[in-house]
Amino acid sequence: MFYVYCLHLLWLIPISWIGCFMVRKKSFEERFLHIAKWCKRCFHLLHIKLDVEMEDALPSDGSILFVSNHQSFFDLFMLEIGIHVPFTFVSKAENKKIPYLSSLSKNLELIYFDREDQGSAVHMLRETTRRLKAGQNILIFPEGTRSKGTVMKQMQAGSIQPAFMAKCYIVPVVLCDSFDYKRLLKQHGTFHMHIGKAIPFEAYKPLKADGMIKQLQEQMQGELDAFHQK
């Protein structure tokens, strides 16, 4: 049944690729909104919904480093639909080889890095810091890989170091059930996402990266546990 739903998307992919080509020279915000629109259309075509719980409005007086857990391919769709400010992703270099995603990544200006190459990781951290300082919002998956369940993998402290360098906001994002996408697709269900309060630099500066990542891990795992205990 899952593969039947995937086939439903085949006609939409080439059309959206053409759309990406047509907006490639527009502003980053326009390109982001275009991709978010197509993500919404994919959800509509699959007869699934997204429920977003926000603790507070996102800040508009500075850039944001979104810190999210990672459960499945559907995370991209959820994040594009659920976060209503333009942002880009930090992504592993392997994703460059996926034809359709590569066209999307050019429009979103993804920051790639090779997990096996220390030099590439250093470049990623510097580029993320540079863009945050320039005012661009960025989302990163500190687990480094998909957790595929209700227990998050250990988040890496180095992943949030750019926030300290750029003195930007940190906003935790919890994807609650995208690992269960096959069931949700079959039942035409609802995906769930929680966006926490923005944490200003002054609040997390004393914690250092190790202390802050520990706090984020506990907070985000707590949200995940609370959702699955309902």
pLDDT in tens, 101-114: 666 777 788 999 88
Question: DSSP secondary-structure letter at 152?
Answer: P
Question: Domain map of the chain by residue range?
Answer: 2-228
Q: Are 171 and 64 in contact (CB under 8 A)?
A: yes
Query: Mean pLDDT across the chain, nearest whole number?
Result: 89
The domain 2-228 is placed in CATH, from the list 3.40.1130, 3.90.320, 3.30.70, 3.10.100, at 3.40.1130
Q: Higher confidence at residue 218 or residue 45? A: 218
Q: What is the pLDDT of residue 81?
A: 96
User: Considering Cα of 128, then 91, then 107, then 65, what sign does the dihedral take?
Assistant: negative
pLDDT (tens digit, 9 = 90+) per residue, 137-170? 999 999 988 998 899 999 999 999 999 999 999 9
Q: Higher confidence at residue 19 or residue 112? A: 112
d(CA 58, CA 56): 6
Confidence of residue 63 (pLDDT cuts 50, 70, 90): very high
